Amino acid sequence: MVGYNNTAGYHLWDPQARRLFYARDVVFEEGAGHWSRAPAGGELEMAGDTEADPLLHAPVTSKSDNADLPPAGEAEGDAVPEPDVSDVTTVAPRRSTRSHVPSTALQDSRASQADEAAAKAAREPWAMGTGKPRKKTRANVASSIQSTPVPQSYQEAMEHPEVWMEPMQKEYASLVGRETWVLVDKPPGANVVDCKWVYAVKYSTEGEVIKWKARLVAKGFQQIAGVDFFETYAGVVRYESLRMLFAIAVEDPGWFMWAMDVVSAYLNADMKETVYMRQPPGFTVPGQEDKVCRMLKSLYGFMQSGRNWSDDLDEKLSLMQWVRSRADPAVRLRITDSGKSIMAVYTDDIRGLSTTAAAADEAQAGVKAAYEVTDVPRTSVSLGMAIEYNQDAGTLSISSRAYLERVLDRYGMSNCNPKSTPLPVGTPIMASKEPLSDHEREFMADKPYREAVGSIQHAANTTRPDLAFSAGRLATCVANPRPEHWKAAQHVLAYVKGTLDYKITYTRGGGTGIKPIGWMDSDFASDLETRRSTSGEVFMMSGGPVSWSSKRQATVALSTVEAEYVSLTRSAKQAVWMYSFLAELQMSQERPAILYCDNTGAAALAKDAKGHARVKHIDIREHYIRERVAAGDIEVQRVESTGNLADIFTKALPRDAHLALVRALGLTD
């Protein structure tokens, strides 16, 4: 390898064929001797220290950024023409006068050379030069698997059976052991659903591979509504609820935090309807190839499986005296003689808090009696968030570095130059209904714009409030993305590259403790297509943000006062919800809730109806803020624009202003 290509490929030199070529998939043979290995004399001879080979300096014709690269080992037909070297004067090799240091690659390869020496002593064929390839194992292919895409089908997985066959066999054995289905003859006219294998890699908080996973899922989109399924809704804990629980855990050192993961959660629930599925790819029972699976359990992928699991969990937890929250039904409260416990559930991921160790043990024991679970360390990865909890120091941090590194790698931005802000100031991002030109269509053909926006949006929803505005703007263009939209998405990813270590930290005694304090803001008619304004809000607890939003308003505002007033109403609704949630957890906070606003007119309008002629057209629902202020639930206070934390959710800011608000929000690196 002699370098990198701009299209995420490798620039390679074939010394035998004497040609340069590009390739994407490259296997590095670390066990082989490195070209920079020192000779007996102790001096390293570097390839770049000779001038005898003109091909090393031959010009390379670069292919278009949109062109497909050839597979590994295949040279491009027009990349490097065979040069005429008849007129080249051979120059004697020039020895470098520089002092040489072994390269990193050389140092790294010595460990592999030691392994090879041991293998030779054991006379293993791959090390004896017999031509037989080294036996593939999960360990010696781990590095190459991490650099290649996760397989999207059973056929792709079979390109690396040494990695993926074991997880599939384990999953299949688990399904059979749980009596997930029974093989039957296909009933006449029955709708038989296909299934597929889905593969994933689980990472640690440091981004290291923990295990390879394979899961069999049904193609639920083939089901017929009203025949194969009926109810489908299954709620999960809201991210803001989870972050509020993190802030609560930090504020009181007496809280015990615990976490569990339910093994094959959906399979604990019976399938209520009569549903048929084809046998799994690669695991058809010999002699019964024509039979189909009549489902007894709620396999992943079926439309009703999530609902069935939610009902089963709720039934069992209710028997254990867990009471569901009305504010967030995925959060439950349990009070016994041992103490108080709070549980939050996201599908099969359970997070809990208890006031005593005995209450924590009781809560976990009850769940373990009902389901097979695995204990999860308090410092772990949950929903893409790396959680770091220091109970003694009174801090809890959540971040997404490992997740974002994979995002950058997926979209070819791992080696980009970092940007200082998510979006340039004054750059309009407008959705367009105009059809793309041929050139634009060709440019966007291989650009995964929707996937990139979704990846950014997930980070913005979990641990990166500084990405909320840019993610929202990019999301308005997913229906008809254009080249300028893709470049804007790349700009956001370049900003992510420079801020990978950003994390939210909740601190004991930080801010106003667990009393939520809100900031709200609005721009005016920033959407140049619809002329609607953007509302932004953020609520802080224990020195860190727990709830934030950047959202385009539903109607056109006729003035800045109206835009801010509409935003105030939206923030008031969120404040009332948060206070109700805390009250259900028996952590009622003193009212009124404080909302900071930088618009004097909107703050005054929230208190009374003066200037009726200017606001009589405003929808009745937007006057909710006035009712809450009159009831004493909300108090609107004036804040200077430069100190409004919500400003970052309504517009792109210059670097210094952006960084100041990032720090004020409690984001640290």
Q: Which of 115-129, 239-253, 334-348 has the lowest mean pLDDT?
A: 115-129
**Can you tell me the distance from the alpha carbon of 177 to that of 363, in angstroms, rounded to the nearest whole number?**
28
Residue 554 is predicted with a pLDDT of 87
Confidence of residue 623 (pLDDT cuts 50, 70, 90): confident
| Higher-scoring residue by pLDDT: 229, 60 | 229
| Average pLDDT value for the chain | 83
With pLDDT > 90 as the criterion, what percentage of the chain qualifies? 61
| Higher-scoring residue by pLDDT: 66, 145 | 145
Residue 606 is predicted with a pLDDT of 86
Superfamily of domain covering 508-668? Ribonuclease H-like superfamily/Ribonuclease H (3.30.420.10)
Nearest residue to 65 (alpha-carbon basis) of 486, 470, 428:
486
Residue 210 is predicted with a pLDDT of 78
Residue 148 is predicted with a pLDDT of 55
Residue 669 is predicted with a pLDDT of 84
Question: What are φ and ψ of residue 199, in 5° steps?
Answer: -115, 150
| Higher-scoring residue by pLDDT: 132, 349 | 349
| Higher-scoring residue by pLDDT: 244, 143 | 244
Residue 629 is predicted with a pLDDT of 92
Would you call 592 helix, strand, or coil by DSSP? coil
Nearest residue to 55 (alpha-carbon basis) of 32, 35, 28, 79:
79
Segment 501-539, tens digit of pLDDT = 999 999 999 888 999 999 999 999 888 788 899 999 999
Q: How many contiguous H segments (helices) and E segments (strands) does the chain have?
A: 17, 25
Domain map of the chain by residue range?
A: 1-135, 164-390, 400-501, 508-668
Q: Is 324 exposed, middle or buried (0-12, 13-18, 19+ CB in 10 A)?
A: middle
Query: Does the structure show a pLDDT above 90 at 361?
Result: yes
* Torsion sign across C-alpha atoms 324, 328, 331, 336: negative
Mean pLDDT of 541-566: 92
Q: Which of 355-359, 606-610, 658-662 has the lowest mean pLDDT?
A: 606-610
Return the CA Rg of the chain.
30
Q: Report the range out of 20-34, 382-396, 579-593 with the highest average pLDDT.
A: 579-593
Find tokens 């394979």 and name the residue: 214
Residue 114 is predicted with a pLDDT of 57
**Can you tell me the distance from the alpha carbon of 472 to that of 402, in angstroms, rounded to the nearest whole number?**
23
Q: What is the pTM of this model?
A: 0.74
Q: Which of 62-76, 135-149, 454-468, 591-605 has the lowest mean pLDDT?
A: 62-76
Mean pLDDT of 570-582: 96
Contact predicate 471/493, CB 8 Å: no
Query: Does the structure show a pLDDT above 70 at 7?
Result: no
**Can you tell me the distance from the alpha carbon of 367 to that of 382, in angstroms, rounded to the nearest whole number?**
19
Segment 180-232, tens digit of pLDDT = 999 999 999 999 999 999 999 887 766 677 788 999 999 999 999 999 999 99
DSSP 364-397: HHHHHHHS-EEE--SSEEETTEEEEEETTTTEEE
Residue 82 is predicted with a pLDDT of 39
Query: Does the structure show a pLDDT above 50 at 332?
Result: yes
Nearest residue to 592 (alpha-carbon basis) of 557, 625, 621:
625
Find tokens 């005054």 and name the residue: 604
Contact predicate 536/574, CB 8 Å: no
Nearest residue to 602 (alpha-carbon basis) of 570, 569, 561:
561
Confidence of residue 607 (pLDDT cuts 50, 70, 90): confident
Q: Cis peptide leading into 654, omega within 30 of 0?
A: no
Confidence of residue 485 (pLDDT cuts 50, 70, 90): very high
Residue 180 is predicted with a pLDDT of 96
H helix runs in 262-385, sequence order: 305-319, 357-370
| CB contact burial 619-640 (16+ within 10 A = b; e otherwise) | eeebbbbbebbeeebbebeebe
Segment 16-58, tens digit of pLDDT = 666 666 666 676 665 555 444 444 444 433 333 333 333 333 3
Residue 202 is predicted with a pLDDT of 80
Q: Which two tokens stand for residue 474?
A: 């990019």
DSSP 453-501: HHHHHHHHHHT-GGGHHHHHHHHTTTTS--HHHHHHHHHHHHHHHHTTT
Residue 525 is predicted with a pLDDT of 85
Mean pLDDT of 275-281: 96
Query: Does the structure show a pLDDT above 60 at 666?
Result: yes
Would you call 8 helix, strand, or coil by DSSP? coil
Nearest residue to 599 (alpha-carbon basis) of 551, 568, 564, 626:
564
Q: Which two tokens stand for residue 335?
A: 């009070």
* DSSP-derived secondary structure letter, 225: B
Query: Does the structure show a pLDDT above 80 at 13?
Result: no
Find tokens 């439950």 and name the residue: 332
| CB contact burial 372-409 (16+ within 10 A = b; e otherwise) | ebeebebebbbbbbbbebebeebbbbbbbbbbbbbbbe
Query: Does the structure show a pLDDT above 60 at 433?
Result: yes
Segments of 462-604 assigned E as strands: 503-507, 517-522, 534-541, 544-552, 593-597
Mean pLDDT of 71-83: 38
Query: Does the structure show a pLDDT above 50 at 609?
Result: yes
Confidence of residue 604 (pLDDT cuts 50, 70, 90): confident
Q: What H or E segment, with its residue span, contains residue 195?
A: strand 195-203
